[in-house]
């Protein structure tokens, strides 16, 4: 019971009114709801960086595999591959198209059936399937920006008349996709 009138005002008035309590509960409820909303958003998106990192690792691996393949005037298993300075010196000139056999392929151009055509992949070079929900596509296209300023892409662009290729690897997953672009230049005639 409140007995000090100087401290508590009139006799019998101490504590909070019902209106003050309701306002307090509403303010605290709104603050807690805001904090829980932020925590829910953070928790629901916490897996996204891991999924994106996994996609990035798959894309980097595939791009590195392709860039490590040979890009010469001749097919890499041709006897003249190390010495040919053009396709005339080859028994088997390099061509775009997927060979029969398993990866990793010998030639950069073996990874796609044609320039500008996306080739899907769901396995890595060791024939291990990508995790569920992940898939990759590879596209090769002629690149003249790396050549002389007056270089033009020939109408009949083939590996025989190009010196650089643009490699685009896109890995798709449930949260989006990751695209990496790399380049492969011809190291000919003697650097396979």
**Nearest Cα to 169, choosing from 76, 90, 61?**
61
**172 band by pLDDT with thresholds 50, 70 and 90:** very high
Q: pLDDT (tens digit, 9 = 90+) per residue, 111-148?
A: 999 888 899 999 888 888 999 999 999 999 887 655 54
Residue with tokens 């992949």, as numbered in its chain: 121
For residue 109, with 0-12 CB atoms within 10 Å meaning exposed, 13-18 middle and 19 or more buried, which class applies?
Answer: buried
What's the pLDDT at 53? 92
How far is 107 from 8, CA to CA, in rounded Å? 91
Q: Hey, CA dihedral for 74, 80, 83, 84, is it positive or negative? A: negative
Contacting residues for 179 by C-beta, under 8 A, at least 6 apart: 59, 168, 169, 170, 171
Q: pLDDT (tens digit, 9 = 90+) per residue, 82-101?
A: 888 877 888 888 888 877 77
How far is 183 from 175, CA to CA, in rounded Å? 27
Q: Which residue has the higher pLDDT, 149 or 34?
A: 34
Is this prediction's pTM over 0.75? no
How far is 59 from 181, CA to CA, in rounded Å? 10
Query: 3-state DSSP call for residue 183?
Result: strand
Q: pLDDT (tens digit, 9 = 90+) per residue, 142-156?
A: 876 555 444 444 455
Mean pLDDT in residue range 19-40: 94
Residue with tokens 């928790």, as numbered in its chain: 43
Rounded percentage of the chain residues whose pLDDT exceeds 90: 35
What's the pLDDT at 75? 83
The per-residue pLDDT of the chain, averaged, comes to 81
At residue 2, does pLDDT exceed 80? no
């Amino acid at each position: 019971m409140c007995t000090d009138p100087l401290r508590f005002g009139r006799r019998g008035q101490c504590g909070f009114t019902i209106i003050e309590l309701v306002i307090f509960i509403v303010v605290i409820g709104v603050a807690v709801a805001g904090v829980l909303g932020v925590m829910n958003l953070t928790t629901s998106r916490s897996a996204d960086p891991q999924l994106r990192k996994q996609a990035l690792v798959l894309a980097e691996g595939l791009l590195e595999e392709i860039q490590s393949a040979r890009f010469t005037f001749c097919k890499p298993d041709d006897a003249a591959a190390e010495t040919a300075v053009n396709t005339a010196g080859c028994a088997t000139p390099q061509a775009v198209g997927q060979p029969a056999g398993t990866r990793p392929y010998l030639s950069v151009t073996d990874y796609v059936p044609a320039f500008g055509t996306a080739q899907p992949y769901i396995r890595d070079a060791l024939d291990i399937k990508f995790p569920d929900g992940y898939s990759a596509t590879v596209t090769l296209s002629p690149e003249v920006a790396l050549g002389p300023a007056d270089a033009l892409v020939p109408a009949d662009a083939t590996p025989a008349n190009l010196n650089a290729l643009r490699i685009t690897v896109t890995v798709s997953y449930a949260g989006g996709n990751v695209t990496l672009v790399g380049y492969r230049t011809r190291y000919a005639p003697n650097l396979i």
